[in-house]
Chain A
Amino acid sequence: MATVELKDLTTRYGDVTALDSVSLSVGEGEFFVVLGPSGAGKTTMLKSVAGLVDTAAGDVLIGGTPMTGVEPYHRDVAMAFESYALYPQRTVFDNLASPLRSGRTGTYSADEQRQRIEAVTTTLGIAHLLRRFPRELSNGQRQRVALGRVLVRPADVYLLDEPLSHLDAKLRAAMRAELKQLGEVSNTTSLYVTHDYQEALALGDRVAVLRAGRLVQVGTPQEVWHTPVDTFVARALGQPEVNLLDAEVADGRLVAAGGALSLPAPAHLDLPGGRARLGVRPRDLRAGPPSGADDLAVRGRVTLAERLGRVTEIAVDVAGTELIAVTDSDVRAREGDVVDLHLPLGDVHVFAAPAHGEPADADTPRLGSAHPRAAATTDARTGA
């Protein structure tokens, strides 16, 4: 177990900059999740820590020791590859024994090897597959073998590259719940890469959001969820995506959707040019009339209602602007119905409007919450 620190780490593939001056530090035993879309540089970050790619600038420190120029086999890191990277000519048992036989992860007698492999394969539910070859396994099984090859050995750092991405939904949820409780994982500093925001929020002690090789935000799951640093982070978290509405200040009110939606202009925020963008999470919208003065109310016509069991996802047309809401399924909204929706002002995120000349969907920073007091308390609570 050790700390991991990236200092202005830059990695290039030819002319392409995969990681651009990334700095972060991961504490001892921390479970640190890196979230980002494909191509954001997540895998490159893990491989930089493992020493598998050459870094262009900056440094990786493991346990405080600079690692530039240190070969992977001297770094004492274990890695689960997104492509599994199982040795095709060896059985599952021999794949799992590989790190134990290298002599650099400790010395293990044949008995100790078998015990460790049995323990880890039992946990992962693949104990019956030990004699099989990788080609005889399903993708989900291969992924668990790849994970097992990490867990079977002690290491300073575990690097896990989308280790649950190829499991089916049920197994993934189960493994997600189990993963953090595994003794090996909870005792070892882990960097975990995913593009699934739910995994990130559920697993991470802290979450880093990566975009095009740059760190956008690092924080606890609560922080990145409640106070996303910009529209990119807000959009990256949550399914369906956050609603973003262009708004303008008029007569002391912030008005969006052609006047169908308005709220008191947040005096505590500085809105450049009197323009802003409102971010409303579909889950924060509730059906029914507003319940208090601090609520934002909006009325619209349902254009699409998708019943998804416990919840219903509805698309609402508000004076030409589409708003997505997720309501409880006992709200019987059908296509064509007029619905009232409301949410607390404190849940309305105010983002800067794109500057002139910027594309309309350019990512802009978050200015704060629409509610002066709620914003203050939220930001104080998360310490952002």
Chain B
Amino acid sequence: MAARELMPGQRRFTVGSVTADLLLLLWFVFALFPIAWMFLLSLKTTAEQTTTYFAFTPTLENFATVLTQRGEDLTGVDFLAALGTSVVNCAGAVLVSLLIGIPAAYAAGRWKFRGSEDLMFTLLSFRFAPELMVIVPLFVIYTQVGLFDTKLGMVWVLQLVTMPLVVWILRSYFQDLPADLEQAALVDGYTRVRAFLSVALPLVRPGIAAAALLSFIFAWNNYIFPLILSDANATTMTVAVTRYLGGGGQAYYNLTAAAALLGALPPLVLALTIQRYLVRGLSFGAVKA
């Protein structure tokens, strides 16, 4: 719990502050309970998986099953392949979004042109419109043009998730950047493209890192697109996890829990790796405060 900043004469603990902290604690327990439960479940044997008491003999067997051929033999789910597909899909989606989204964000942040706000709003609407709204027409189109169950198709459709994030996050970074910097580059004799590449772009690196990470996580967590638009070839981690629950046969809740935990690792590792790029304040000293 972070220490509050106290005003003169203010006391550290008051009835209000203690109550607020207790409520937060309650929420904390409530919110984290599913994860704790999932963790415990992943350590239980199949025989014990439906028990509700906390005393049991923990085992790492579930993780081993999920990660080896044994899992596929048992349930028909190739989890590692699905994990690989997820990595390819999400990395591809983020890469395409950055390549197209960075120049788009720069244009939208620097210049007001006819329809620029409408364009930005349309992009934003991809984020708040439910995916289910477009999934049926997408399914029809994908099956007709042959994108169904392909990684290319997944990368394409994930643009709906990643592109708005990239453009909206980076636009605000570009807007924060003083236009004088690129103008200085122009009078120094550089073209607009070189001014963008050598002056503006390096200064929004923290923004690029943030946008990439965030859109990767959103793409990674996406469930509905791979569920409907892919089958055996492009099945992702999110879909694979649920398939341990079986279709009428034995439901392996413990394997689901173990797979879900494993599936949560890559974004976590990615976040830890690039967090040092997330620092802001690189533009300190560019212009007077």
Known: A73-B191, A81-B180, A85-B178. A98 touches B185 (CB 8 A): yes
Against B, the Cβ 8 Å flags (1 = close, 0 = not) of A34-77 are 00000000000001001110000000000000000001110101
Q: List 27 A-B contacts (CB under 8 A).
A: A47-B183, A52-B187, A71-B186, A72-B187, A73-B186, A79-B184, A79-B187, A83-B180, A83-B287, A83-B288, A84-B286, A86-B184, A87-B286, A88-B203, A88-B285, A89-B282, A98-B185, A99-B187, A102-B188, A102-B189, A102-B194, A134-B285, A134-B286, A135-B284, A135-B285, A137-B285, A139-B288
Determine the residue in chain A with the shortest Cβ distance to B284. A135
Interface status of A309 (Cβ within 8 A of chain B): no
Is A88 within 8 A of B283, CB to CB?
yes
Is B285 within 8 A of A72, CB to CB?
no
Interface status of B190 (Cβ within 8 A of chain A): yes
Provide the bound-state CA to CA distance between A139 and B284, in Å: 12
Chain A residues, CB < 8 A from B282: 88-89
Known: A134-B285, A134-B286, A166-B288. A85 touches B181 (CB 8 A): yes
Provide the bound-state CA to CA distance between A105 and B190, in Å: 10
Least CB distance from B189 to A in Å reads: 3
Against B, the Cβ 8 Å flags (1 = close, 0 = not) of A102-129 are 1111000000000000000000000000
Is A85 within 8 A of B287, CB to CB?
yes
Is A87 within 8 A of B187, CB to CB?
no
Question: Which A-B residue pairs are the 4 nearest by beta carbons?
Answer: A135-B285, A104-B189, A102-B189, A85-B180
Is A88 within 8 A of B188, CB to CB?
no
The residue in B192, B194, B199 that gathers the most chain A C-beta atoms within 10 A of its C-beta is B199
Against B, the Cβ 8 Å flags (1 = close, 0 = not) of A125-148 are 000000001111101001000000
- Among A79, A86, A103, which residue has its beta carbon within 8 angstroms of that of B285? A86
- Among B181, B187, B284, B287, which residue has its beta carbon within 8 angstroms of that of A50? B187
Is B183 within 8 A of A81, CB to CB?
yes
Q: How many A-B residue pairs lie within 8 Å, measured between CB atoms?
A: 91
Least CB distance from B288 to A in Å reads: 6
Known: A84-B288, A85-B178, A87-B181. A77 touches B187 (CB 8 A): yes
Contact surface of B with A, Cβ cutoff 8 Å: 178, 180-181, 183-192, 194, 199, 202-203, 282-288
Provide the bound-state CA to CA distance between A52 and B186, in Å: 8
Chain B residues, CB < 8 A from A244: none
Interface status of A371 (Cβ within 8 A of chain B): no
Determine the residue in chain B with the shortest Cβ distance to A47. B183
Provide the bound-state CA to CA distance between A138 and B39, in Å: 54
The residue in A87, A134, A139, A149 that gathers the most chain B C-beta atoms within 10 A of its C-beta is A87
Least CB distance from A78 to B in Å reads: 6
Provide the bound-state CA to CA distance between A78 and B189, in Å: 9
Least CB distance from B197 to A in Å reads: 13
Provide the bound-state CA to CA distance between A295 and B186, in Å: 57
Determine the residue in chain B with the shortest Cβ distance to A75. B187
Provide the bound-state CA to CA distance between A159 and B183, in Å: 13
12 extra interface residue pairs, beta carbon distance < 8 Å, beyond A89-B203, A99-B189: A52-B183, A71-B192, A73-B187, A73-B190, A85-B180, A85-B287, A86-B286, A87-B185, A88-B286, A103-B189, A142-B285, A149-B184
Chain A residues, CB < 8 A from B288: 83-84, 139, 142, 166
Provide the bound-state CA to CA distance between A139 and B287, in Å: 9
- Among A72, A136, A166, which residue has its beta carbon within 8 angstroms of that of B183? A72
Determine the residue in chain A with the shortest Cβ distance to B283. A88
Provide the bound-state CA to CA distance between A32 and B199, in Å: 31
- Among B185, B192, B287, which residue has its beta carbon within 8 angstroms of that of A84? B287
Is A73 within 8 A of B287, CB to CB?
no
Least CB distance from A201 to B in Å reads: 26
Chain A residues, CB < 8 A from B202: 89
Chain A residues, CB < 8 A from B183: 47, 50, 52, 72, 79, 81, 85
Chain A residues, CB < 8 A from B189: 73, 99, 102-105
Chain A residues, CB < 8 A from B188: 73, 98-99, 102, 105, 149
Provide the bound-state CA to CA distance between A177 and B160, in Å: 61
Chain A residues, CB < 8 A from B192: 71
Least CB distance from A382 to B in Å reads: 35
Is A88 within 8 A of B187, CB to CB?
no
Is B178 within 8 A of A133, CB to CB?
no
Chain A residues, CB < 8 A from B187: 50, 52, 72-73, 75, 77-79, 99, 159
Least CB distance from B183 to A in Å reads: 5
Determine the residue in chain B with the shortest Cβ distance to A105. B189
Provide the bound-state CA to CA distance between A81 and B287, in Å: 9
Chain A residues, CB < 8 A from B283: 88
Is A87 within 8 A of B184, CB to CB?
yes
Is B286 within 8 A of A72, CB to CB?
no
Chain B residues, CB < 8 A from A89: 202-203, 282
Provide the bound-state CA to CA distance between A75 and B184, in Å: 13
Determine the residue in chain B with the shortest Cβ distance to A77. B187
Chain A residues, CB < 8 A from B191: 71, 73
Provide the bound-state CA to CA distance between A9 and B163, in Å: 42
Determine the residue in chain A with the shortest Cβ distance to B186. A72
Provide the bound-state CA to CA distance between A98 and B285, in Å: 17
Provide the bound-state CA to CA distance between A103 and B186, in Å: 12
Determine the residue in chain A with the shortest Cβ distance to B281. A135
Least CB distance from B287 to A in Å reads: 4
Provide the bound-state CA to CA distance between A149 and B180, in Å: 14
